[in-house]
Chains A and B, each alone.
Chain A
Amino acid sequence: MIAFLLKRIANAAFVMLAVALLAFVIFRFFGDPVEMMVNEQATLADRVELRERLGLNDSFITQYTRFVTDTVQGDFGISYRNQQDVMVLIKERFPATFELVLVATVISLVVGIPAGVITAVYRESRLANILQLGSIIGVSLPSFVVGILLILAFSVSLGWLPAFGRGETVDIGWWSTGLLTPSGRAALMLPAISLSTFQVTLVMRLVRAEMLETLRADYIKFARARGVPAARVHWRHALRNCLMPVITLTGMQIGNLIAFALVTETVFQWPGMGMLFIQAVTFVDIPVMAAYLMIVSLIFVVLNTLVDITYAWVDPRLRDDTASAGGSNG
């Protein structure tokens, strides 16, 4: 088990190094931050000097080594554009993104699970057909379109919910939350719904498939034969056995949602990490772009590694397979 753990962690570290390299290569072709930093009247000499001071003239290897060394120590430098410590910038924005992702996840479960059960149990009913159709729309509409439609409906026409922003926030230590104020909760509604549309469909379809399988199982038939009420059979006995994969999927998807939140955040001017990243791209703010990519990949890698380890712990067969396969590959 320990050998397996070490292997997984070494793999994760290797992935992070690769991401760092990739990120770094991309930035080299991204453009020149100096042209964005100085104003019209800066002379050529000023520009050359600034490029020198930022270390952009050093060799690729030197820059990469410096980047990795600093990153390992958690030092991403300071933002070119905002002149702030990058970690502070990200720490400020993280709560906004996290709350958005959290609420979107809750919505996807609260809506997706019942919808999945209904479409599985009452397969031929009109409601099930409508839900199925809705889910196709949910996967096919891009999230920025969903966002704009929601804004048109609920902000412009009905005037119920704000079109942008995060409302009032309350600070709890360094964590700023919008969940505790009415305006914060109102502002969260549209972005969270928009972000969750894809996820709702995913959960619904997964629950439906699992339910269809479980409903054919012997113990369900026995329960029915014993005269257990249908609702109890479906929502309790059957559903419980379908939830394991849903939980796994939800855990894995959190990384995806954080990455996808970028689009939603842009549409709703949500002051999260995605918004920060988009601006950084516009201004070639390399330290911020690098930190964002590294942190989002870190979240992915950690989630994946945790899931792998948990699986291996639950199911020893996986552990042996992976360990021996990894060993033979060197």
Chain B
Amino acid sequence: MTLRHLLIATAAVASLAGAAQAENVLKWGANRDIGSLDPYSFGDSFTINVLNHVYEGLVRYNKDLEIEPALAESWQVLDDQITWRFKLRQGVTFHNGNPFTADDVVASLTRVSDDTSPLKGNLPAYVTSKAVDDYTVDITLNGTYPLLLNDLTNIHIFDKEWMTEHDALMPTDVGAGTEGYATYHANGTGPFIVESRQPDAKTVFVANKDWWDEPQHNLDRIEFTPVSSAATRVAALLSGEISFTEDAPVQDLPRLAAAPNIEVLEGVDLRTVMVGFPFRDTLTTGEPNPFTDKNVREALYKAIDLDLIHQKVMRGKSRIAGATVAPPIPGYVEALDELPDYDPDAAKTLLADAGVPEGLEFEFNCLSDGLVNEEQFCQAIASMWSRIGLSPKLDVAPRAVQSPKRTNGKTDLYTLGWATLPLLDSYSPLLQIFHTKDGNAGVFNWGGWSFPELDALIDAAGSELDLDARLALQTKALQMVKDEIIMIPLHQQPMAWAITDDVAEMPLFPDAKPRLWFARMDGES
């Protein structure tokens, strides 16, 4: 035993050799690497989330996920109703020492809304911006639009001089095959500075001593290492090689919780898991589509034993949902969460009355690499539907294979998880999923439905600047979605992080985004 302890001690000393002894080093073992150091190069929320430690937006979410000032100190909507004036924070510097000014904001907004940027959809209403003076920026939109602040939480601000110097004013363009300086280097205003990066191996962040805000964290370094194999990640936690992971595998939670040096942080994600219906004239089999009949949709809803899925498939860790958005999302009210009775007999009667033939065949499209335990709950649901006399054909494959089928309407029923990110508002699913497919709207309306009355409500909400009035409209729209059973909500899925005992504080956020500027470790600093 003594030999073993000696060896562990030696290994620990060796691993610290690169850093000074008394530092607080948080070793983050993530389930995958970030794509690059450029948050605008690939539409990947995880990369944006990690890089939020380095880059900041004009506004940000606080610990309670409410929007608060960050690089902007205050804002107002001007009289024309479509121009927003932001007063910027003074005395902020980028990591390279350059001062933060209005020009940086304009250059960053221009960059992210460029035609070649895969993230321009994150600023749907943006038209143009201009610097009024060094610390005032006007952003002009294409109409009255209430959710600009929500959008801006995710738009990272770059340094214009730095971009100009390194020819990085435009995002990289895969089509043209150009690389960019910002892919390899980072220069933000955030609480952490990128010290080094080896792709797939390690990215090191050090605390920014000159950060404009009072730090709540006491970290000196973050060593971000992707460990994509779940078993290895668990082993690395147990052996103390990593001190935090944002993806503790569900099947290993009991084992992790039993380990003396590990704490598991469990919560319920904002992501609502739903099943969508096709509204086209025919099914993939060529038969007429019975799902346009609301009674048929209701039959399928009533046939699902939500409680059984919660108990058996999700091991009691999910939250059964009746609404299409989670409770913390603005627009949610409790009435939306009402659940139908599980009643397969009534379901059978509904099907018979609607004239649905016995043994109706349809495809049920699920992902093998999507939601938590997706394959299992899809199987459970398919067998519940078989019990009321239908013949669902389960089609399970990776996201990369299923996405084209879903977007092109080459399947019938399908699963969809929606966390309302990055808006954190019920306007997000209403516009993206439930609105008729039309330009900006209904991109995820894979079933092809159209409810003009619903669209009118959503459009009205989309230009209503008064918060209460807007949320009332959205609640009404959500109620209509529920009454029409456009999609069947199943549950909000569980999420689990794990920390070792040298981490003192790690707030768990329901949007599953680690914010290590709130993390604290045991050591002094």
Contact = CB atoms under 8 A, between A and B. Distances in A.
Interface of A: 29-32, 35-46, 49-50, 53-55, 77-85, 89, 92-93, 148, 151-152, 155-156, 158-160, 162-166, 168-169, 182-183, 266-269, 271, 275-276, 278-279, 281-284
B92 interface: no
Interface stretch (B93-101, B176-184, B343-351, B454-462): B176-184
Interface string B214-236: 00000000000111110110011
A37 B400 contact: no
Contacts of A271: 198-201
B229 A182 contact: no
Interface in B31-62: 32-33, 35-36, 38, 41-45
A55 B121 contact: no
Contact of B439 (A43, A165, A169): A43
The winner among B8, B14, B42 for most chain A CB atoms within 10 A is B42
B239 A284 contact: no
Given A45-B439, A78-B179, A148-B231, A40 B174 contact: no
B200 A276 contact: yes
Contacts of A278: 228
Contacts of B401: 29-31
Nearest to A42: B121
Contacts of A85: 179
A32 B421 contact: no
Interface string B14-38: 1100100000000001001101101
30 contacts: A30-B400, A30-B401, A31-B404, A32-B400, A37-B43, A39-B43, A41-B122, A42-B118, A43-B121, A43-B439, A54-B174, A80-B42, A81-B42, A82-B42, A83-B35, A148-B232, A151-B235, A156-B238, A158-B4, A159-B8, A159-B239, A163-B236, A163-B239, A163-B241, A165-B201, A266-B228, A269-B229, A276-B200, A282-B369, A284-B400
A158 B175 CA distance: 50
Contact of B235 (A78, A155, A169): A155
Contacts of A32: 400, 403-404, 407
Contacts of B443: 40-44
A268 to B, nearest CB: 7
B228 A83 contact: no
B370 interface: no
A76 B199 CA distance: 19
Contacts of A46: 120-121
Interface in B392-425: 398-401, 403-404, 407, 421
A277 B11 CA distance: 31
B199 A92 contact: yes
B444 interface: yes
Given A31-B398, A164-B227, A80 B174 contact: yes
A181 to B, nearest CB: 10
Q: Which of B238, B428, B444 has the most CB of A within 10 A?
A: B238
A159 B118 contact: no
A46 B439 CA distance: 10
B14 A42 contact: no
Contacts of B33: 279
Nearest to A85: B179
A266 B173 CA distance: 29
B432 interface: yes
Contacts of A148: 231-232, 235
A99 to B, nearest CB: 14
B235 A156 contact: yes
Contacts of A281: 400
Nearest to B34: A82
Nearest to A38: B43
Contacts of B239: 155-156, 159, 163
Contacts of B373: none
B404 A54 contact: no
Contact of A160 (B7, B174, B437): B7
Interface in B160-213: 172-180, 183-184, 198-202
B124 interface: yes
A42 B175 CA distance: 17
Interface centre among B183, B202, B232 (most CB of A within 10 A): B232
A156 B428 CA distance: 44
B90 interface: no
B119 interface: yes
Contacts of A41: 121-122, 124, 432, 443
B235 A152 contact: yes
A53 B7 CA distance: 56
Contacts of B180: 83
Nearest to B151: A41
Contact of A155 (B177, B198, B241): B241
Contacts of B183: 82-84
A148 B227 CA distance: 13
A40 B8 CA distance: 46
Nearest to B440: A43
B424 to A, nearest CB: 13
Nearest to B183: A83
A87 to B, nearest CB: 11
Nearest to B5: A159
Contacts of A159: 4, 7-8, 11, 239
Contacts of B428: 40
B14 A183 contact: yes
A79 B33 CA distance: 15
B14 A182 contact: yes
A83 B18 contact: no
Contacts of B404: 31-32, 35
B431 to A, nearest CB: 9
A93 B118 contact: no
Nearest to A78: B177
B238 A55 contact: no
A152 B236 CA distance: 10
B200 A163 contact: no
A35 B36 CA distance: 18
Contacts of A267: 229, 231-232
Contacts of B38: 83
